[in-house]
Amino acid sequence: MGYRGAIVDLDGTVYRGGTLVPGALDGVATLRDRGIDPLFVTNNPTRSPSAYADRLESLGLDADPDRILSAGSITATYLAEQYPERPTYVIGSPGLREMLDEAGVVRTDDPDAAEVLVTSHDHEFDYDDLTAGLWALEDATAFVGTDPDLTYPGGDGRDRPGSGAITGAVATVARREPDHVLGKPAPETLAVVRERLDCPLEECLIVGDRLDTDVALGERGGMTTVLVLSGTTTRADLGADVAPLPGSSADLEPDRVIDRFGAIGSVVDDHT
């Protein structure tokens, strides 16, 4: 029996910045040839699945928006299900707000009226936002971060502060940890992913370039974990002590390591 499903990371796995990782299209074709329709899952919270589908198409890769999840779309789904009709204050990008609106999340611009606070990557993040976050958390407001990523690679290859940095700033000033941090490797994300896959997680691969998000999510779900070396993790990082994110498994060793996603055939064909 072979693998029946695959979760594939985007940044560092399929593309880096504005260019495809060499062989990425072959990787997708290899999976599809074997009847595996990959589900792309990214921790970027600022863009919707349809925006990602357009981006992938411009790089020559056809993907249905239904086969793409972003930390933004996962957060929108989660909030609509778990906190319906609850006034939600958002510190985040215009793209995230749009996804929340489309999912029917009720947003408020008044931090004192908020019953839910969402924190996420925001280029415009400033002192007033930090104040609003502090005020929103003065009472029993639910505190939800879109994803844990402290940094992400900018187009020039240098790191920029990500959602985790902003969630951390709000948590620090409010002296309170978030109740949920979504994206990979959160258990809440695993639940959303499980609904999208048409097979048990144990029969799935997860392919990505990060130990603390991609490999950690796969371990949590009992998937076969495949690390690619085309992104943030180098061979030297393997075996080194990688500090796991809060709540994730301490054992972050991938089942398989390949140079690039294009070589995924060697993993799929090995499986008996």
CA pair distance 150, 258, nearest whole angstrom:
25
Q: Which of 11, 129, 147, 188 binds Mg ion (CB under 5 A)?
A: 11
| Minimum CB distance to Mg ion, residue 6 (Å) | 15
What is the Cα gyration radius of the chain? 18
Residue list 208-247, contact with Mg ion (CB under 5 A): 209
The Cα–Cα gap between 266 and 244 comes to 28
Per-position DSSP letters for 218-248, written without gaps between them:
HHHHTPEEEEESSSS--GGGTTS--PPPTTS
Answer for the pair 235, 17: CB distance below 8 angstroms, yes or no: no
Taking the least distance from each CB to Mg ion, the nearer of 12 and 49 is 12
Q: Does 12 bind Mg ion (CB under 5 A)?
A: yes
Which tokens is 129 given?
A: 């936002």
Q: Work out the end-to-end distance of the chain between its first and last CA atoms, rounded to an integer number of angstroms.
A: 6
Q: What is the largest CA-CA distance in the chain?
A: 57
Q: Choose the stretch contacting Mg ion; rule: CB under 5 A; options: 63-71, 125-133, 152-160, 206-214.
A: 206-214
Instruction: Answer yes or no whether residue 149 interacts with Mg ion by CB under 5 A.
Output: no
Q: Are 231 and 35 contacting, i.e. CB atoms less than 8 angstroms apart?
A: no
Of the two residues 15 and 89, which places its CB atom closer to Mg ion in the complex? Answer: 15
For the CB of residue 181, give the shortest distance to Mg ion in the complex, in Å: 17
d(CA 218, CA 255): 10
Query: Which of 9, 149, 188, 203 is in the footprint of Mg ion by CB under 5 A?
Result: 9
Nearer to Mg ion, 12 or 133 (CB): 12
- Region near Mg ion per CB under 5 A, out of 11-19, 53-61, 116-124, 189-197: 11-19
CB of 108 or CB of 151, closer to Mg ion: 151
Size of the site for Mg ion (CB under 5 A): 4
Cα→Cα distances 206→38, 108, 140, 164, 225, Å: 9, 37, 36, 23, 5
Q: How many residues does the structure list for the chain?
A: 272
Q: How far is the CB of 231 from Mg ion (least distance, A)?
A: 5
Residues with Cβ within 8 Å of 232's Cβ and at least 6 positions away in sequence, in order, are: 12, 153, 209, 210
**For residue 265, which phi and psi values (nearest 5 degrees)?**
-55, -35
Of the pair 178, 208, the CB lying nearest Mg ion is at: 208
Residue among 149 and 203 whose Cβ is closer to Mg ion: 149
- Tokens, residue 54: 């357009």
Q: CB under 5 A: which stretch of 5-13, 148-156, 234-242, 261-269 binds Mg ion?
A: 5-13
> Closer to Mg ion at the Cβ: 147 or 209?
209
Shortest-Cβ-distance residue relative to Mg ion: 12
**Least CB distance to Mg ion at residue 88 (A):** 28
Q: Report, in Å, the least distance between residue 184 CB and Mg ion.
A: 9
Would you tell me which residues interact with Mg ion (CB under 5 A)?
9, 11-12, 209
